[in-house]
Structure 1
């Protein structure tokens, strides 16, 4: 069986998905759409893409295309999701689904009514290290979880143009950590407190955002969580996690080019973390699209649903509210106590 797909948006992440999808035997990439295509023609020819268009509706109207990947700017996601669902296409959408909880809920309703699949691109769930942690927690290896600590720091901030359209640190960057917190803990977040500062670049503050944050979480199962973020870590992409329970603890350290550690009388040295997300999560990106294809072809549940995307957005909104008010924010929408 073959799944014929179209890609909407041919920026960095869209091109990454094209490369990863091309190595999956049961996937055929037929079409790519982008707002400008002249510069993409040599690339499309190299990747053996049949159709290159500026109008994504051509993909939605193509009866051969069974699934679409939405890799366009966030402010277009919800509209395209609804149109794709109504066209009967399965959907893979990059995070977040939208900047508005109400808009996301509306899109998810359309998806449910259409009976198509929607997977949200929280790629870190598919990293083998984090998956192992989730398995250890589910199997009770560390007992009842008490504390979750997540460190997530970028090697350098994005452009100011990106900052201004990103939806803010919590919606753009920390949203991955909010999803990871739910995923690893297996429980919903019920309260959020957030603290933020501008310590990396004053221009980020002038653009209305923060570049440094500490967020504390309370979970429905009684456990506590702490996330720390920075837009700039001088030593590289810092991605670490620890979960502590009544029977022990489990940690994920940074990935490095090698595990070699040199010890001498003068120093102990090891390599810096891999530089950024494309290097750190190479395998995770491949796994997420492979599992999406399998879910579509085998009529199975997706591994990261629209509801997961919605819950991460709710936490991000609560964090922003806490930052602005200086008070903890309750998530009354978090009715479920167990995360699949």
Structure 2
């Protein structure tokens, strides 16, 4: 399918793999999409800014990068920055089209329905989009798909008006008569208000007056405050709605406060500077309100991603209900959008469309992209696989790898490591649920093709091994399918989320006998391997204390949901595997204690102590907490053995006490490269697995048992 992308400030139209329909989502063939004259054009400018400029404007990102540099080193940091800077990003957040498929759990919408869609990263400028059900609404018969493509902008304007809470007969000022301002004026007139509008451009003022604006002013030609006072008998407007887009400009919000009456309302919809002065806010006792996009539900993953609606009686106007109401007003002819369209361009000419928004005079208010709905065979748009003409030739004897899941971890750790081990591996295919990400990643790492459907690589006879880097709930499922397809499997942790999944996977692995590996990388770190060497001839049991300063993750993050399984399953399995590696013994008993949080944002499952007693007499304790500061290094291990102590400090250093044996020191190395090296050698030489299946199962079973040890009704449980 064709999709509009931006890379370093430049617009490009590329063929990318089409998305697959999923639970709670709707697959739509797009007819038209609307280019936002404010948000998108501003984002386009920012995309082309230099790194220095971005650093000045976003110092918080610089701090994050500094922490990453301190932990990961210069090479990985440079790789991360290069990847971010050169990556193409999707554009668009408002479109219309026809439903192709609906996922499980979607009701009231069926294939063939005309719909309008919203959502950045979802309702993209693309021939095919996959949109969550709460961001998809049916288009009334009397509304064209062309006009319906404005649904997101209509909902934004509507939410701004709702925040202003206008009463019949009130006078409201609209500052900025761009697309949002024009829609806002019409909605206020429907609400029974008298409206004053201003803009820097005469043509926009004139158009607004044609659409119902009572008084219009060109900002640069008048003293707006005096004009407003004259029209309102010296009182000021009841409310001012800012729909202008001028990032960093503090004069606009100040103007709004000056023209608003005592105890009035100022609503900020557009992206403007927020440098508010105490006067006249204090003297007038003004209410200053922010309007968030399409309305309640925006930026709420439960609402947008999971499809959990808000109760009608308690949240009357959600973003979806705002979208529906806007389309109803279009159908009744009470709001006009067609007059605002300044041009329609074929998607192939997207660059011209963006240039028109930036360079044409007068600047168009709204520009649409046309996707030739009905003119091109839909099946051609739905292809999930894009092949490349690779400059690198395949070398015999190398393991051809398909990477399933191309998130940050895969792109910053595994894929660079596969490149380093080019004597063993060849990156053959990249699979990602997002087509643009799949293509960008495949291009960056020299893959032969990319796809949005992992079944494409399972059916590919050239693929020797799959590397699973998806969200945790898919690991066991994909691993079983890959094993049945005869592929060697490297799965990131966890191996499985529960005992049922684990048993099913083990059964398949025993039947198929394919090589299998889980990314329990700590045991392959230089520090851990050195400790293992130094304690191999021990006379007595060992005591291990492993402290993990895990860092806080909000409880609505996917890691804590059914997709992630929680941090005990998803991360603590690493620590349990390292205990098993050091002791080479079976667990005899497990004791778990956790904090009892007093506040709901803290989880006991993120703050616990687990002590494992082994049959050889060893005792290993994991202290896992999300309560510590980011400045404290993440992992610290002490191993006590026969009068000696070995300290692993965040996998950057191994210190030895009570012995003249040498430790180790170097850049942080958690064993990611070495684990791939060991697995590759095993595949090439048909040798033993680097970690036996029994060992993989034991570490996973321990994490499942520890996780089950928490009562579901414990205070603060995630």
Task: Name the SS for the 2:623 alignment partner.
Answer: strand
1:99-128 CA distance string (max 9 Å, x none):
112321221221122121001101111111
1:176-228 CA distance string (max 9 Å, x none):
111111111111212111111266973243xxx53211111110112222110
Q: Flag the 1:255–1:310 CA change in 2: closer, same or farther, 3 A.
A: closer
In 2, Cα distance between equivalents of 1:56 and 1:288: 24
Q: Flag the 1:55–1:145 CA change in 2: closer, same or farther, 3 A.
A: same
Which residue of structure 1 aligns with residue 613 of structure 2? 218
Task: Name the SS for the 1:105 alignment partner.
Answer: helix
Q: Flag the 1:169–1:48 CA change in 2: closer, same or farther, 3 A.
A: closer
CA contact (8 A) 1:6 1:69 kept: yes
Q: Flag the 1:43–1:225 CA change in 2: closer, same or farther, 3 A.
A: closer
TM-score by length of 2: 0.40
Which residue of structure 1 aligns with residue 409 of structure 2? 13
Structure 2 counterpart of 1:236, from 603, 628, 632: 632
Superposition RMSD in Å: 2.5
Structure 1 counterpart of 2:677, from 290, 293, 308: 290
Offset of residue 43 of structure 1: 3.1
1:287-309 CA distance string (max 9 Å, x none):
11111111111111121233323
In 1, Cα distance between equivalents of 2:488 and 2:437: 28
- List runs of 5+ in structure 1 lacking aligned partners: 260-273, 326-340
In 2, Cα distance between equivalents of 1:172 and 1:43: 25
Q: Flag the 1:137–1:152 CA change in 2: closer, same or farther, 3 A.
A: same
Q: Flag the 1:10–1:188 CA change in 2: closer, same or farther, 3 A.
A: same
Is residue 92 from structure 1 mapped to residue 490 from structure 2 by the alignment? Answer: yes
Which residue of structure 2 aligns with residue 64 of structure 1? 462
Is residue 109 from structure 1 mapped to residue 507 from structure 2 by the alignment? Answer: yes
Offset of residue 133 of structure 1: 1.1
Q: Flag the 1:30–1:201 CA change in 2: closer, same or farther, 3 A.
A: farther
Structure 2 counterpart of 1:23, from 414, 420, 425: 420
In 2, Cα distance between equivalents of 1:160 and 1:132: 39
Which residue of structure 2 aligns with residue 37 of structure 1? 435
Offset of residue 237 of structure 1: 3.1
In 2, Cα distance between equivalents of 1:157 and 1:281: 24
Structure 2 counterpart of 1:303, from 690, 698, 711: 690
In 2, Cα distance between equivalents of 1:286 and 1:199: 38
Q: Flag the 1:32–1:184 CA change in 2: closer, same or farther, 3 A.
A: same
Q: Flag the 1:200–1:21 CA change in 2: closer, same or farther, 3 A.
A: farther
Q: Flag the 1:256–1:100 CA change in 2: closer, same or farther, 3 A.
A: closer
- Which range moves more in the overlay, 247-256 or 103-112? 247-256
Is residue 320 from structure 1 mapped to residue 717 from structure 2 by the alignment? Answer: no
Which residue of structure 1 aligns with residue 589 of structure 2? 191
**Structure exhibiting the larger radius of gyration computed from Cα positions:** 2
1:42-70 CA distance string (max 9 Å, x none):
33212111111011111111111111101
In 2, Cα distance between equivalents of 1:246 and 1:158: 42
1:271-301 CA distance string (max 9 Å, x none):
xxx9xxxx8446x111111111111111111
Q: Flag the 1:296–1:11 CA change in 2: closer, same or farther, 3 A.
A: same
- Which range moves more in the overlay, 38-47 or 168-177? 38-47
Count of residue pairs the alignment pairs up: 301
In 1, Cα distance between equivalents of 2:686 and 2:598: 46
Is residue 49 from structure 1 mapped to residue 447 from structure 2 by the alignment? Answer: yes
Q: Flag the 1:158–1:116 CA change in 2: closer, same or farther, 3 A.
A: farther
Task: Name the SS for the 1:214 alignment partner.
Answer: strand
Which residue of structure 1 aligns with residue 646 of structure 2? 250
Structure 2 counterpart of 1:128, from 526, 539, 546: 526
Is residue 4 from structure 1 mapped to residue 391 from structure 2 by the alignment? Answer: no
Q: Flag the 1:90–1:158 CA change in 2: closer, same or farther, 3 A.
A: farther
Task: Name the SS for the 2:410 alignment partner.
Answer: helix
Q: Flag the 1:48–1:158 CA change in 2: closer, same or farther, 3 A.
A: farther
CA contact (8 A) 1:160 1:204 kept: no
Which residue of structure 1 aligns with residue 246 of structure 2? none
Task: Name the SS for the 2:680 alignment partner.
Answer: helix
CA contact (8 A) 1:200 1:231 kept: no
1:111-168 CA distance string (max 9 Å, x none):
122121001101111111011111222232xx31242211112244367322224222
In 1, Cα distance between equivalents of 2:457 and 2:556: 32
In 1, Cα distance between equivalents of 2:692 and 2:487: 15
In 1, Cα distance between equivalents of 2:572 and 2:651: 19
